[in-house]
Structure 1
C-alpha cells in the first residue's frame, strides 16, 4: 500500500486576474463539497480527479482542462490508486464573467490540446518572477479560448496595425519600467486580448517577447560599456540577475558573463 502523501504549494502572483496559484499532490485526500468565489482552472499532470458538479459526476484525465465556475458547489477525490498531481489557477470572476457560469456547469471538462499546453505555459511563467507580462499575455489568450469554448463561437481576429504600432511605441518607451496589459488596454481603450492579437499579427511575436528582446538588447549595450551583470539586470528592467541570465542565454546563446569576454579567435565568435 502506497504511503499517504500530500504536497501543496500556493502563492498569489502579481498578475491581474489570478487570485491564486495552487499546485498539489494528493494520494488519499478527498475534498468535501465546497464553493469558490473564483473560476477554478484545473489541469492534472498525473493520475486523475473524480468530482461532482451540479449533481453530475465528472473526471479529469491528464489530457483535459477543467473549468469549474464560481459559486457552484463541487467536491474532488483521487480516481486512481496513486492519487493525483494537479495545477490550479483561481481566476477572478471578472476574467470570464458570470454570464458564462451556466455553460461551464454544462461542460466543465474541455478536450483541447492547445488550451492544455497554454495553461501549462502560463503556470511556468507565473513561477518565474519578472515574467509577469508574459503571464498576463498568456492569460488573456487563454481567457479568449475559454470564452470561445463556452460560447461555441469561432472566427479569426481582425488585424489592427495602427493599434499594434501604438502598443509597440509604448513598449519602446517603457523598456525598463515595463507596462502591464491592463495599463495598455486602459490607455488605448482596447480589450487586452485584442491588444495581444493585434500585436502578434503585426509583428509575429507577442508583446512580452518583444519587450524581453528590447531589454536584452539594452543589457548587451550596458555590458559592453563595462557595467557588472548584477547592475545591468536592474538597469535593463529584469527582476534580478537570474532573470537576466535566463533570457540572455536564450536570445544570445551565452550568459552575460561570457558575452563580455573580449575578442575571440575566428570561428568562435559570440552570436549577434
Structure 2
C-alpha cells in the first residue's frame, strides 16, 4: 500500500454534510501539515503516511485499526501513528473532533536531538498509540491553535517544539539533557539580538544559534532566566518601540509595520495587553 499525504486522504467529495476539516502547513517545520476536523460520518480507508501522525482527540471518540488491534481514542487522549503504519479511522458513537499534525521523520529526529543536545538522534518510537497525559495534551492543543492561526510565527514554533519535546521525552524513551548552569551569557546574547532585531521575522533556530544552544535547551533556559518565552520577550520589545512611535504621533499602521506587527489590529491587541489601553487612547492621554 502506498503512502499518502493527509490532504489526499480527505478529498472534499468524501466528506458528509456534517463533517468539517481544515488544513494548514507550516514551512518552518519541514512543511508540517496540520488538521483540525470534526467527523460524524466520514470513515478513512486503510492508508499510511511517510510522516508520523501526532495529535489529540478534543471531543467524542474515534475507532481505528492499527498494528493488528482495534483502538479507541476518546476526548483528552493523545494519539500516535508511525510512518508506514497502516491505519483507518471512523466515529465510535456520534462522532469525534480532533487536532492532528503530520511531522516528518526528520523533524522528529531533530526534536530528539534537541532534547539530548546531540547533532543527530534516532527516530523516536512511541510504544503506546493512545495514551492519557493531561499536561502534554494541553501543550499540544496550545501549539496547534497557535500554528493554525499563524503557521510560520515564532509563537507556534516555540510551542510546537516544547509540546513535541514533552511527548518524545515522556513517551518515546528519549531522556532530555539535564538543565545546566552557566547559560546566562548565552541567553544574554539572545536578548541583545532580540533587542536589536525586533522588527524582523525571527525563527527559533536563529535565536538558538545566537545562544549556541539546542532549541529545546534554549527555550527552557530563556524562560528560566527571563521569566518570558522568546515570543513574549520579542513582543515586549516591539511594544516598547511602538510606544515611543505612538507618543511621537506616527500613524498607527506605519507603527505596526515598523515594529514587526502583522497589521494595526495585531499592534492594538499586543499594546493593550501590556500598556492597559489601546494605542489611540495612549496617544490622546
Tell me if 1:122 matches 2:134: no
Alignment check: 8 A CA contact 1:130 1:239 kept: no
Q: Secondary structure at the match of 1:151?
A: coil
After TM superposition, the structure 1 = structure 2 runs for residues 23-38 of structure 1, keeping only pairs within 5 Å, are 23-38=36-51
Structure 1-normalised TM-score?
A: 0.86
CA distance in 2, matches of 1:17, 1:60: 27
CA distance in 1, matches of 2:152, 2:273: 14
Q: Pick one of 196, 199, 223 that aligns with 2:222.
A: 199
Q: Which residue of 2 aligns with 1:208?
A: 231
Q: Secondary structure at the match of 2:93?
A: coil
CA distance in 2, matches of 1:239, 1:148: 34
Structure 2-normalised TM-score?
A: 0.83
Matched residue count: 257
Q: Which residue of 1 aligns with 2:248?
A: 225
1:187-220, CA deviations, whole angstroms, 9 ceiling, x for partnerless residues?
4443111111111111111111100111011111
Moved more, 123-132 or 56-65: 123-132
Alignment check: 8 A CA contact 1:33 1:74 kept: yes
Q: Secondary structure at the match of 2:221?
A: helix
Moved more, 225-234 or 186-195: 186-195
What are the ranges of 5 or more consecutive residues in structure 2 without an aligned counterpart? 1-15, 110-120
Q: Pick one of 15, 21, 34 that aligns with 1:21.
A: 34
Q: Which residue of 1 aligns with 2:179?
A: 157
Q: Which residue of 1 aligns with 2:108?
A: 96
After TM superposition, the structure 1 = structure 2 runs for residues 101-180 of structure 1, keeping only pairs within 5 Å, are 101=124, 103-104=125-126, 106-129=127-150, 132-149=153-170, 150-151=172-173, 153=175, 156-159=178-181, 160-180=183-203
CA distance in 1, matches of 2:163, 2:199: 27
What are the ranges of 5 or more consecutive residues in structure 1 without an aligned counterpart? 263-272
Q: Which residue of 1 aligns with 2:204?
A: 181
Q: Which residue of 2 aligns with 1:235?
A: 258
1:115-170, CA deviations, whole angstroms, 9 ceiling, x for partnerless residues?
11111111221233497111111111112112212106477522422221121111
Q: Secondary structure at the match of 2:53?
A: strand
Cα 1:111/1:18, change in 2 over 3 Å? farther
Q: Which residue of 2 aligns with 1:269?
A: none
Tell me if 1:253 matches 2:265: no
Alignment check: 8 A CA contact 2:186 2:212 kept: no
Q: Which residue of 1 aligns with 2:20?
A: 7
Cα 1:14/1:248, change in 2 over 3 Å? farther
Tell me if 1:79 matches 2:92: yes
Cα 1:17/1:139, change in 2 over 3 Å? farther
Alignment check: 8 A CA contact 1:12 1:21 kept: yes
CA distance in 2, matches of 1:96, 1:35: 17
